[in-house]
Amino acid sequence: MIIKNYVTELSQKYASKWLVFAIDLGIVMFTFFLAYFIRFNFTLNFDLVQFFIQLPFILGISALSFIIVGSFKSVIRHTGLLDLINLFKATLLIAGFSVALVLVNRSVQLVEGFTIPRALIAMHALLSFMFLSASRLAFKILYKRIKCHLMATKRVLIYGAGDAGILTSNTLLNNTSSRFIVVGFIDDNENKAGKSINGIPIYSKERLNKAYLELQNIDEIIVASEKIDHTNIMPLIDLQVKVTKIPPVEQWINGELNVKQIKQVQIEDLLGRPPIQVNNPNLQNEFRGQTVLVTGAAGSIGSELVKQLSNYDVKQIIMLDQAESALYDVEQDLKRNSKSNYKALVADIRDGLRIDSIFQKYQPTMVFHAAAYKHVPLMEESPYEAIKINVNGTKLLADTASRYNIKKFVFISTDKAVNPTSVMGATKRLAEMYISCLQKESKTKFITTRFGNVLGSNGSVIPLFKKQIENNKPLTLTHREITRYFMTIPEASQLVLEAGTMGKGGEIFIFDMGQSVKIFDLAKNMIKLSGLRYPEDIDIQITGLRPGEKLYEELLANGENTIATYHSKIMISKTRAIDYERVKPEIEELCITNRFQNNNIVIKMKQLIPEYKSNNSDFERFDKRVQIYKKAKALVTEKNDNNYKGL
């Protein structure tokens, strides 16, 4: 770092614009002499007196031309095509002024016998441009050579020999903060193999192997193509070399790539599917002029919803959460991004009076309900708390929205509500059922969205693995065969907004999340992404399934099918029929009775949700009891029906 700063300081101190100006004038004087020397057959058989008379005029004309064009102001070590064009303009201007001076002198006779042959002027212009350009290129090469010897260098391969790859190469070579040597390009197009770009060879994919990387001492592979998917990136990760990736072109700063924007490949790039894109102009129309309330606004999904909604022409965003510190952070992010149409409120969705006062004061027209308890093992220990937030909190919020005739209420559910095996999943399913019941009697359009795990959310497996890797600890995994569906936070939030726009009321929208991901493979890939080896550097420990945890998640419950929508990644679930008249009062009763009686709460939920079967939990013992209860109830119902028929 000290050497790098010293080299940079020297180049700035001794390569000032006035020094460049003086050197340029010296070059022009030299080339004027050289033009005479060549013109007279490489001899000095020319009128030296006339030469020294002409020299001051050439000096003045050249100084004026350089000042007009400003060619001496460019940073020499970054000389590019535009700088050479400016030099060409300056030499043309020198030639033009020289011809004009000769013509004026012929007419006015300012200087007796003063003239410059036109052939000599043309030759001088050509030589000046050549020597001025060469001086800049020589300085640029010299600077890079010195920096290369004095600074640590990084040898890289660029994956992708298209426009993005060429721009990446230029960015690396022109970077001043660190030194890169681009060893070569790798491209999928076999027709490019064997060719070169700016002297850098292009290789086919077959060249990518450990032996070649070790031979060339490759430090890093930079992926410089948006068309390269996970199937191409995974083999790079297996080479156990650092793999980085340039951002999409639209994220470049002022249309230019910066070395600092080149980031290490993230686990999101290895999901096994292309990123989900939402580009619906109807979203702008949907949210224009709306006052949107977002609950759980300090959480992973809630904060991203707030961020994305702030980009639309909404009237106001009401951010509601009981976590004041996290909510404050979201508020500060909006301030930094010059957003003003928001209001942060600390509130508990279980407080009906507080929620009612918020609706009365701010009059929201749309609600996105993301607040929930979501950690499966914790909720398995505290069913009463899960009921209070996930069911009763949703009920109070939905009832208030219905009472104020809110336009739309979008409930963010989870795939754990499908054939639930945990208290958390069962409470989310009960909340789905309640708002479905409310849809039958309300003017508000109640919409439910279901999706799987969100990468990077609070408490998810990805941050846990990252912490364990940072601390050089083994990664802990509950089961070797466990699988999950994954989606990034922006993807999930975009689809929630899209589903909210297309919803007519009463739908349960399911997001297509591609193929499920084996968490064991995910853990190994994260170790490789960190430049470590499994199991030599970091091992993976199997700890056993936690209470309520599934081996794999589902997006559809037993007996459910889907209906396609205009968005290929969003489907509507055709859920089983619900006895609304019976279910709604029983859910209401569950919310106000059985306080702290966890066993009674779980039994009641199992009675309301036929598909709820506990897994790896103490509550498994109630499954048989509920089955016996259901059979007895069915026999009583059948007996009553037969008696009725006998009448």
For the annotated catalytic residues, the residue numbers are: 416
- Residue 254's region, left for phi above 0, alpha for psi from -120 to 50, else beta, is left
Q: In what order do the strands lie in the sheet containing 179-186?
A: 196-197, 200-203, 179-186, 153-159, 220-223, 242-245, 263-264
Query: Contact, 171 vs 144, CB < 8 A?
Result: no
Amino acid found at 596: F
* Closest to 381 measured CA to CA, from 618, 626, 621, 625: 618
User: Which runs of E-coded beta strand occur in 57-124?
Assistant: none
- C-alpha 39/C-alpha 28 separation (Å) is 16
Give the number of other Cβ atoms within 10 Å of residue 262's Cβ: 19
CA angle 55, 56, 60 (to 5 degrees): 120
- C-alpha 509/C-alpha 499 separation (Å) is 7
- C-alpha 400/C-alpha 318 separation (Å) is 15
Residues 6+ apart with CB under 8 A from 599: 619, 622
> 93 to each of 64, 102, 166, 191, 562, how far by Cα in Å?
9, 14, 34, 45, 73
For tokens 């420990």, name the residue: 541
Radius of gyration, CA atoms only, the chain: 36
- C-alpha 433/C-alpha 526 separation (Å) is 38
Helix/strand/coil for 318: strand
381 alpha-carbon distance from chain centroid: 36
Beta strand 179-186 with 200-203 is parallel
Tokens of 587: 């859910």
End-to-end CA distance of the chain: 97
For 512-560, the DSSP string reads ---S-EEHHHHHHHHHHHTT--TTTTS-EEE--PPTT--SS--SS-TT-
Q: In what order do the strands lie in the sheet containing 570-574?
A: 342-346, 316-321, 291-295, 366-369, 408-412, 445-450, 508-511, 570-574, 561-564
> 595 to each of 422, 431, 482, how far by Cα in Å?
19, 18, 34
